[in-house]
Amino acid sequence: MASAPRPLTDFAAARRAMIDSQLRTSGVNEPWVLARMAAVPREDFVPEGAKGVAYIDRAVPLGGGAMLAAPLVHARMLAEAKPTPADRVLVIDGGSGYLPALLDGVAGSVTAVSPDEALKGRKGDYTLIMIDGAAEQVPDALARRLAEGGRIVTGVVEDGVTRLAIGSASGGTIALLPLAEIGIPRLAAFDKPKAWSF
């Protein structure tokens, strides 16, 4: 009797390899972060033709300028965010839907919006905002959506270098602290306006 055909890629093995060779070796060892990264199949968030590279250690193009960030980016974001069941989370989605899926079941509530939708929002009471991408500037509109004392985790772009950053809301403004340099796909919607010069 012939055996069933094997899939071209063993995604479960790819997820285990991602955790062991990308996340653990880079210092991400929080059990709950590793559990979420193991439970959510990255291959479900990329186009059919990119499923075979869903677990590589760099960003995967999704089409239309959108990118799925490298696994380490999302793992570090989760570790820094430390979401709890009491959190009301707003995710500015970079186009994949992967980060909201990682937060599902960990945070109390998760609302995902596009960068354009995020800028149109009114005053909110989110306790955590996560931007799935690197921003040259965090728009004031997002500060209004974050509750006083609420946290933000995002990528930032400074002189062409992307870094992970954390921050909090105070008095209607957000103060950010850049952390480690890491390759995070840039969100063009949050670019600074280009200044005209001679």
The length of the chain is: 198
Distance CA 23, CA 28 (A): 5
Residue 6 has pLDDT above 60, yes or no: no
Distance CA 93, CA 71 (A): 15
Domain boundaries, the chain: 11-188
Give Dmax (Cα) for the chain. 76
Contacts of 89 (CB under 8 A, 6+ apart): 83, 103, 107, 108, 109, 110, 111, 126, 127, 128, 129, 130
For 93, the token pair is: 């989605």
The reported pLDDT for the residue numbered 195 is 60
The reported pLDDT for the residue numbered 118 is 87
Reported as a single tens digit per residue, the pLDDT across 65-115 is: 899 999 999 999 999 999 999 999 999 998 899 999 999 999 999 999 998
Contacts of 178 (CB under 8 A, 6+ apart): 156, 158, 163, 164, 165
Q: How confident is the model at residue 196 (pLDDT cuts 50, 70, 90)?
A: low
Q: Is 102 helix (H, G, I), strand (E, B) or coil?
A: helix
Distance CA 126, CA 178 (A): 21
**What architecture is domain 11-188?**
3-Layer(aba) Sandwich (3.40)
Distance CA 173, CA 20 (A): 39
